[in-house]
Amino acid sequence: MGRATHQARQLLHTFPEQKTMQAVVLVKLANGTVDFEGITNYSYGSGAHVELELMQMLNTHYGDIGNLPQQSTIIFAAKWSPCKQCTEELIPDFLRRSNLVARGIRIKFRFEDYYLSDTYPNPNASQKHLWPSQDAANTAYSAISNGYPIYRQMNYIFRDEDNTVTDKVSRHVVFAAAHVNRTSEFETWHL
Ligand SMILES: [Zn+2]
């Protein structure tokens, strides 16, 4: 896990209560320094989804989402993974407005638990926001991530015996559980 992601998670855990909607955002510049940190919690926020609260903080701090620093990494770390509504509407809109490919920006959504109907502890949570399964969440997250070009491709491995290449692929947009150490993926194909 990168240092900035580690820092974001430490900030996240300043909340003693782990059954709420706490979330943080951290902006890491290309030189590794942290340029901005924001923290929110559903219970003291406006009642908007935590992702929206954090995006509004970024918008206020930088004047516009389109002004996020070039070559930066934006890390959202949350207790719960993005809900259905945020995944379908809010996040795609944010990604589009950030102009991330032209500006060389990476955006990572790290979370501790999947926001599923059978794991989220509040029985009053709206079913229209909860995911029916981890697979359903991952499918939607991957569709967004794969909609953007690869950010970096490295560690080319060629295997004679089955004529395959394996590259380590980093994406512009990453959704990953917090316990996943590396957010790059390995992709193998036959020549
Ligand atoms: Zn949401």
Q: What is the CATH number of the domain that holds 59?
A: 3.40.140
User: Mean pLDDT in each 10-residue stretch from start to end of the chain (191 residues)?
Assistant: 81 69 93 94 71 96 98 94 96 98 97 89 82 95 95 86 89 90 80 78
Q: 103-116 pLDDT, tens per residue?
A: 999 999 999 999 99
Give the distance (Å) from ligand 1 centre to CA of residue 190.
Answer: 39
Question: What residues make up the domain containing 144?
Answer: 3-149
The pLDDT, as a whole number, for residue 45 is 57
Is residue 165 included in any domain, yes or no? no
What are the distances in angstroms from CA 173 to CA 42, 53, 95, 127, 132?
Answer: 24, 19, 8, 26, 23
Give the CA angle between residues 68, 71, 72 to the nearest 5°.
55
Give the distance (Å) from ligand 1 centre to CA of residue 117.
Answer: 14
The pLDDT, as a whole number, for residue 18 is 54
Give the distance (Å) from ligand 1 centre to CA of residue 121.
Answer: 16
Give the distance (Å) from ligand 1 centre to CA of residue 21.
Answer: 10
Structural domain total, the chain: 1
Residues facing residue 177 across a β-bridge: 111
Give the distance (Å) from ligand 1 centre to CA of residue 51.
Answer: 7
Is residue 143 included in any domain, yes or no? yes
Give the distance (Å) from ligand 1 centre to CA of residue 104.
Answer: 26
Is residue 157 included in any domain, yes or no? no
